A and B are shown apart, each in its own frame.
Chain A
Amino acid sequence: MGLFTGLKDSISRVTDRLFSDQEPKRIGIYGPPNAGKTTLANRIARDWTGDAIGKESHIAHETRRARRKENVEIERNGKSVTIDIVDTPGVTTKVDYEEFTDEMEKDDAIRRSREATEGVAEAMHWLREDVDGVIYVLDSAEDPITQVNTMLIGIIESRDLPVLIFANKIDLPESSVKRIEDAFPQHKTVPLSAKEGDNMDEVYDNIAEYFG
């Protein structure tokens, strides 16, 4: 993209925002690695725009850069809410490239882990500076009481950001939504399966209610 075109696009985005009736809210999708954040982001994007956001994978840190889908308009009960979805890398305090060497060559594993660390750092920075609300995705088949989850929820609360907790993967037999509700009783927990599309009506009702 040329300098002039980029500048024109930037000015256009600014003026669009200045004159829009309802500026899109930037909703960050946060959570630990492999909770299903990208699967959820893709489902929301596909349901309302027809396009996906990014690649899904069972390999941890597949999402290594935050990715956005802008102007996703969700209509619920006669009202509409427009959001920019920001799909972020799974937040962690440690990344070891050797976790990936079973799946790929060492050089690729090192590159993946380096990109993952940069992505997590970026996601943490954005959480402090750039999001208007948070969808926190947890794998309901896993224990939600981890230090990273507790810290992240605390950071989100300290910034007074509206947050919805999504208990994903309810299609799995080991799933326990109650375990998540009990862990974070101060927040609304919505059960879903992003992979199977279960309970998405309630998901969209809550997105519209919390972020509209």
Chain B
Amino acid sequence: MPEATGKDDGDGIQIDLISGQRMDELATMEKIRMILDGVHEGKIVILEEGLTPDEESKLIEVTMSEISPDEFNGIEIETYPKSGSGDSSLLGRLMGSDDSSAKLTVIGPANRIETLHKDETLISAFVSRN
């Protein structure tokens, strides 16, 4: 299972790489809780298979409800664009091919992560320690 976590010893930044298999076992709110709990602790969370649009919508909604002055000001999130985005047709959705298939997603605390560059094959992010 392609999952690994680093140790946060106060000097470093922990990165959680969460496999698609691990996420498949969770309900929507469990996924969102796992992501936001990690981000609240200052971790960078990388999802092997991203989230569905409905889950993304709920992630934004829950993130907004947890923003607090001087404590947590939200998330930075980047996802590879779906290749070609050609299968967003109704038929594609009915056939179940419009899921979060193979779109790696990076999520981190807004005050610590900054996207420097993104294209279809590369997400380049700068992560500060404070």
Chain A: residues with CB nearer than 8 A to chain B?
Answer: 91-97, 110, 113-114, 117-118, 120-121, 124-125, 127-128, 147, 150-151, 154-155, 157-160, 186
Contacts and interface: CB of A to CB of B under 8 A. Distances in A.
Contacts, number: 83
A155 B56 contact: yes
Nearest to B74: A94
Given A113-B69, A158-B54, A93 B76 contact: yes
B67 A95 contact: yes
A149 to B, nearest CB: 11
A97 B118 CA distance: 27
A155 to B, nearest CB: 4
Contacts of A150: 79, 81
A57 B76 CA distance: 25
Most buried by A among B61, B76, B110, B111: B61
Interface stretch (B3-11, B14-22, B41-49, B85-93): B85-93
A93 B88 contact: no
Contacts of B78: 147
Contacts of A95: 64, 67, 73-74
Interface residues of B, number: 31
A113 B62 CA distance: 15
A94 B110 contact: yes
Q: Is the interface of A mostly helix, strand, loop or mixed?
A: helix
Contacts of A154: 53, 56, 88
A124 B57 contact: yes
Nearest to A128: B57
Given A151-B77, A159-B53, 8 more contacts: A94-B76, A95-B64, A96-B74, A110-B69, A155-B54, A157-B53, A158-B52, A158-B93
B43 to A, nearest CB: 16
Nearest to A150: B81
A118 B53 contact: no
Nearest to A118: B64
A127 B56 CA distance: 12
Contacts of A186: 85, 88
A93 B77 contact: yes
A110 B68 CA distance: 9
Contacts of B75: 93-94
A124 B64 contact: yes
Contacts of A124: 57-58, 60-61, 64
Nearest to B70: A97
A159 B56 CA distance: 13
A147 B52 contact: no
Q: 6 smallest A-B Cβ distances: which pairs?
A: A94-B74, A158-B53, A94-B110, A121-B64, A124-B61, A117-B64
Interface string B87-103: 01010010000100000
A118 B63 CA distance: 10
Contacts of A96: 73-74, 110-111
B60 A94 contact: no
B128 interface: no
B65 interface: yes
